Amino acid sequence: MKPVRDQQEVNSTEPQSISEREAHLTSKERVLLWLLKHPFQRIEDLAFALKLHVSSVCRHLVALEQQGMIEQVRPPQVGTKPQATYYLTTTGLHAIANILGADPAKLAQMWRVGEGHLLRLIPRLSTFMLLHDLVSGIVAYAPTRLMHPGGYPATIRWHWVHDYMHSFVWKGTRERCRADAVLAMTRALPGTGTQKAETLFTALWMVDAGLLGGGNQRLIQQRLEALLKFRESTERWRSYSHFPPLLVVTRSARNHLLWQQCALEASTRKRVAPLAGAIVTLEPGIPKQSGFPWTLPWQHLTTSRPCRLEDLLIPIPIDSALPNVLAPRMIPEGTFQHNQDDTEQTDIIKGRFSARSHQRTESEQEALSLLGLQLGYRHLECLLQLYQHPLLSREEVATFGHLQPETATRYLYDLRAQACVEIYHTSRGKRYALSERGGRFIAMYLHISQRHMFEKEASGVRVQRGVPSLLQKIKHTAGIYHFLARVQEEARQEGHLLEWWEAEARSARRYRSQKHWHNFLPDATFAYRAEEKRFSAWLEWDEGTMHTSDLTAKFAAYAHFLETREWMKDHMTLPILLMVTPHPGQEQRVSRIAQRTLAHTSLVVIVTTQTRLGEHGPLGPIWLPVLPHTFEDQRRKLLDPS
DSSP state string for 476-533 = HHHHHHHHHHHHHHHHHHHT-EEEEEEEGGGG-EEEEETTEEEEE--SEEEEEEETTE
Q: Look at 221-230, 245-254, 322-331, 536-545 and tell me which has the smallest mean pLDDT.
A: 322-331
In this predicted model, what pLDDT tens digit does every residue of 164-179 receive, in sequence order? 999 999 999 999 999 9
Collapsed DSSP state (helix, strand, coil) of residue 551: helix
- Determine the straight-line distance between the first and last CA of the chain, rounded to whole angstroms: 55
Cα distance between residue 97 and residue 19, in whole Å: 14
In the predicted structure, residue 151 carries a pLDDT above the cut 80: no
In the predicted structure, residue 334 carries a pLDDT above the cut 90: no
In the predicted structure, residue 207 carries a pLDDT above the cut 60: yes
Mean of the pLDDT values across residues 316-330?
83
pLDDT at 9: 37
Dihedral sign of CA atoms 331, 332, 333, 338 in order? negative
Task: Name the CA dihedral angle for 241, 246, 247, 252, rounded to a multiple of 10 degrees.
Answer: -140
Cα distance between residue 454 and residue 335, in whole Å: 40
Which amino acid, residue 401?
Answer: G
95 CB neighbour count, 10 Å cutoff: 21
Q: Look at 12-26, 34-48, 102-116, 244-258 and tell me which has the smallest mean pLDDT.
A: 12-26
pLDDT at 16: 44
Set out the domains of the chain in order of their start, with CATH numbers.
Answer: 1-113 (1.10.10.10), 115-318 (no CATH), 364-472 (1.10.10.10), 475-627 (3.40.1350)
Q: Look at 74-83, 207-216, 220-229, 455-464 and tell me which has the smallest mean pLDDT.
A: 74-83
Cα distance between residue 473 and residue 476, in whole Å: 5
pLDDT at 138: 95
In the predicted structure, residue 279 carries a pLDDT above the cut 60: yes
Cα distance between residue 528 and residue 505, in whole Å: 20
Q: How far is CA 610 from CA 493, 550, 577, in A?
A: 21, 20, 16
pLDDT at 485: 97
pLDDT at 450: 87
Q: Which of 600, 602, 607 is nearest to 624 (CA)?
A: 607
Pairing label, strands 576-581, 605-609: parallel
pLDDT at 304: 84
Cα distance between residue 522 and residue 484, in whole Å: 14
Collapsed DSSP state (helix, strand, coil) of residue 416: helix
In this predicted model, what pLDDT tens digit does every residue of 37-66 receive, in sequence order? 999 999 999 999 999 999 999 999 999 999
Mean of the pLDDT values across residues 623-630?
88
Q: Are 623 and 606 in contact (CB under 8 A)?
A: yes
pLDDT at 4: 43
In the predicted structure, residue 192 carries a pLDDT above the cut 60: no
| Confidence grade of residue 604 (pLDDT, cut at 50, 70, 90) | very high
Looking at residue 74, the DSSP 8-state letter turns out to be -
Collapsed DSSP state (helix, strand, coil) of residue 616: helix
| Confidence grade of residue 324 (pLDDT, cut at 50, 70, 90) | confident
| Confidence grade of residue 15 (pLDDT, cut at 50, 70, 90) | very low
Dihedral sign of CA atoms 21, 23, 25, 29 in order? positive
Range 229-253 burial, b when 16+ CB lie within 10 A, else e? bbbbbeebeeeeebbbbbbbbbbbe
Q: Are 118 and 356 in contact (CB under 8 A)?
A: no
In this predicted model, what pLDDT tens digit does every residue of 400-415 receive, in sequence order? 999 999 999 999 999 9
Q: Look at 129-138, 147-156, 447-456, 590-599 and tell me which has the smallest mean pLDDT.
A: 147-156
Which amino acid, residue 471?
Answer: L
pLDDT at 12: 35
Q: Are 497 and 491 in contact (CB under 8 A)?
A: yes
pLDDT at 80: 67
In this predicted model, what pLDDT tens digit does every residue of 465-475 receive, in sequence order? 999 999 999 99
Mean of the pLDDT values across residues 376-403?
94
Q: Which of 556, 521, 518 is nearest to 538 (CA)?
A: 521
Collapsed DSSP state (helix, strand, coil) of residue 310: helix
